[in-house]
Amino acid sequence: MTRTHVVVIGGGYAGTLAANHLRVRPDIDVTLVNPRPAFVERIRLHQHVAGTYRATVDYGTLLGDGVQLLVDKATRINAADRRVDLASGRELTYDYLIYAAGSTGAVPNTVPGAAEFAYPVAEFEAAQQLQHRLDELHPDAPVTVVGGGLTGIETSSELAEQGRRVTLVCGGVLAPSLSAPGRRSVAKALRRLGVDVRDTAVVTEVHPDAVVLQDGSMLPSAVTVWTAGFGVPDLAAASGLATDTLGRLLTDETLTSVDNPWIVAAGDAAAPSGQPLRMSCQAAGPMGAQAANTVVSRIAGTEPAALNQAFTGQAMSLGRRAATIQLARLDDTPINAYVGGRVGAAIKEAVCKATVWSIRHAAAKPASVFWIKGGRRPAPAEQNELV
């Protein structure tokens, strides 16, 4: 039997599910390359920062038999030779490559002091540093969270529930991806927790013990957390592959690289038809399964299916006792309906547990991966307006 070697770069939600799903064919050897020895539940990193949850899972409980985990970092993809160079000096050859490098927290160099003094929270190492720094502080020390999106709201809520003095600087609309009723629900919960929400304020400078706002006022801040914006690793661009302006790998609708038929992408670092899906584990997992299906189709000599998945909404925790579950149409646009309070918290916890369960289930039964289909793919011009 001729065997096919597939290398998966990135062990997050997309890459791990892709690696497990590839095992629908017994003649595929899978190597999963990840810089960490444990899977990171990124949707729980705000809990990790607050010390209410350990956001790592042993890969031994997640990966199916036959998936080899290689703890290393990919530094370059040599597409012409089908080779991956690793930080350790090793080289990996592949028949197919699934690019699931994920996303990173982006702290802008354009804001003086932000890169030096602000803490991102989107990656495990950064969350660890922030947790250690918070542990050193007096509980009453002021904390500033920059960014009014889901990550900023969840981090603010988690810390405020522990009694910390938290100011959330939104730089615009609070929770802009939610409906008006959903935003009101979030604002009410933040007020109840004592979070000082600065809707229109913008941080223009970060000091070790304060932030400067656009109006020139100084806001005391023993710790500043930066959650405004995400980036992606520069691996694809540095490897000479076609990317969008952020650095996501450009693919067609089958998630195949526009440069190379042996490279398939999934998750936050993929831009199918130049129209990336919202960065989320909700998008990443199904994309990982579909990337694996594309590889399986190419091995079989059949035409891969086009990307087909839908969204159901957005779930954000507001401490441990409340959450807002924003309901949405299949194309991810919010509707004027949400579930809040303790019921919302129960749903959010179930969603978090289900993401890990789905990876474990795929390890045991690779062919059983399921996702919701039917979401509309926007036209390129429409997506460009949204980016």
Binning pLDDT at 50, 70 and 90, where does residue 376 land?
A: low
> Lowest mean pLDDT: which of 68-72, 90-94, 376-380?
376-380
User: Can you tell me the distance from the alpha carbon of 118 to that of 147, in angstroms, rounded to the nearest whole number?
Assistant: 12
Whether the pLDDT of residue 385 is over 90: the answer is no
Instruction: Report yes or no: 114 and 204 within 8 Å, Cβ to Cβ.
Output: no
Whether the pLDDT of residue 188 is over 80: the answer is yes
Topology agreement, domain 4-104+231-310 and domain 114-226: yes
- Give 91-115 as a DSSP string: EEE-SEEEE----EE---TTSTTHH
Binning pLDDT at 50, 70 and 90, where does residue 226 land?
A: very high
User: Can you tell me the distance from the alpha carbon of 318 to that of 155, in angstroms, rounded to the nearest whole number?
Assistant: 9
Mean pLDDT of 205-220: 96
Task: Tell me how far CA of residue 248 lies from CA of 74, 93, 232, 241, 296, in angstroms.
Answer: 16, 22, 7, 10, 23
Q: Which two tokens stand for residue 304?
A: 């891969």
Q: What pLDDT, on the 0 to 100 scale, is given for residue 229?
A: 82
Binning pLDDT at 50, 70 and 90, where does residue 109 land?
A: confident
Q: Which long-range contacts (CB under 8 A, 24 or more apart) does 268-272 make?
A: 268/14, 268/102, 268/103, 268/230, 268/232, 269/10, 269/99, 269/100, 269/101, 269/102, 269/103, 269/232, 269/233, 269/236, 270/14, 270/99, 270/100, 271/243, 271/244, 271/246, 272/307
Query: What's the farthest any 2 CA atoms get from each other in the chain?
Result: 70
pLDDT tens, position by position, 165-183: 999 999 889 999 999 999 9
Q: How many residues does the chain have?
A: 387
Whether the pLDDT of residue 119 is over 90: the answer is yes
Instruction: Report yes or no: 167 and 144 within 8 Å, Cβ to Cβ.
Output: yes
Binning pLDDT at 50, 70 and 90, where does residue 382 land?
A: very low
Whether the pLDDT of residue 211 is over 80: the answer is yes
Binning pLDDT at 50, 70 and 90, where does residue 1 land?
A: low
The architecture that CATH gives domain 4-104+231-310 is 3-Layer(bba) Sandwich (3.50)
Q: What pLDDT, on the 0 to 100 scale, is given for residue 381?
A: 35
pLDDT tens, position by position, 260-296: 999 999 999 999 999 999 999 999 999 999 999 999 9
φ, ψ (nearest 5 deg) of residue 309:
-155, 160
pLDDT tens, position by position, 139-153: 999 999 999 999 999
User: Can you tell me the distance from the alpha carbon of 226 to that of 364, in angstroms, rounded to the nearest whole number?
Assistant: 38
Q: Which two tokens stand for residue 229?
A: 């914006």
Whether the pLDDT of residue 386 is over 70: the answer is no
Q: What pLDDT, on the 0 to 100 scale, is given for residue 6?
A: 98
Amino acid type, 153? I
List, in sequence order, the alpha helices (H) in 7-90: 13-21, 45-50
Residue ranges covered by each domain of the chain:
4-104+231-310, 114-226
Instruction: Report yes or no: 314 and 177 within 8 Å, Cβ to Cβ.
Output: yes
φ, ψ (nearest 5 deg) of residue 268:
-60, -25
Q: What pLDDT, on the 0 to 100 scale, is given for residue 303?
A: 97
Could you please state the CATH topology (level 3) that the domain comprising 114-226 is classified under: FAD/NAD(P)-binding domain (3.50.50)
CA angle at 169 for the pair 140 and 199, rounded to the nearest 5°: 125
Strands (E), 18-87: 28-34, 38-40, 56-58, 67-71, 74-78, 83-86
Q: What pLDDT, on the 0 to 100 scale, is given for residue 105?
A: 85
pLDDT tens, position by position, 52-65: 999 999 999 999 99
Whether the pLDDT of residue 317 is over 50: the answer is yes
Binning pLDDT at 50, 70 and 90, where does residue 375 land?
A: confident
Q: What pLDDT, on the 0 to 100 scale, is given for residue 387?
A: 27
Mean pLDDT of 296-325: 97
Exposure string (b/e) for 301-317, b if CB count within 10 Å is 16 or more? eeebeebebbbbbbbbb
Q: What pLDDT, on the 0 to 100 scale, is given for residue 108?
A: 87
Binning pLDDT at 50, 70 and 90, where does residue 28 land?
A: very high
Q: Which two tokens stand for residue 119?
A: 């803490």
Q: What pLDDT, on the 0 to 100 scale, is given for residue 270?
A: 98
Mean pLDDT of 212-222: 96
Terminal Cα distance for the chain, rounded: 46
Binning pLDDT at 50, 70 and 90, where does residue 377 land?
A: low
Q: What pLDDT, on the 0 to 100 scale, is given for residue 383?
A: 33
Q: Which two tokens stand for residue 243?
A: 């990317």
Percentage of the chain exceeding pLDDT 70: 97
Q: What pLDDT, on the 0 to 100 scale, is given for residue 230?
A: 86
Listed in sequence order, the residues at least 6 apart from 310 whose beta carbon sits closer than 8 Å to its beta carbon are: 330, 331, 332, 372, 373, 374, 375
Mapping DSSP to helix (H, G, I), strand (E, B) and coil, where does residue 381 land? Answer: helix
Mean pLDDT of 25-44: 97
Task: Tell me how far CA of residue 215 lies from CA of 113, 199, 219, in angstroms.
Answer: 17, 13, 11
Nearest residue to 131 via CA among 157, 155, 147, 101: 155
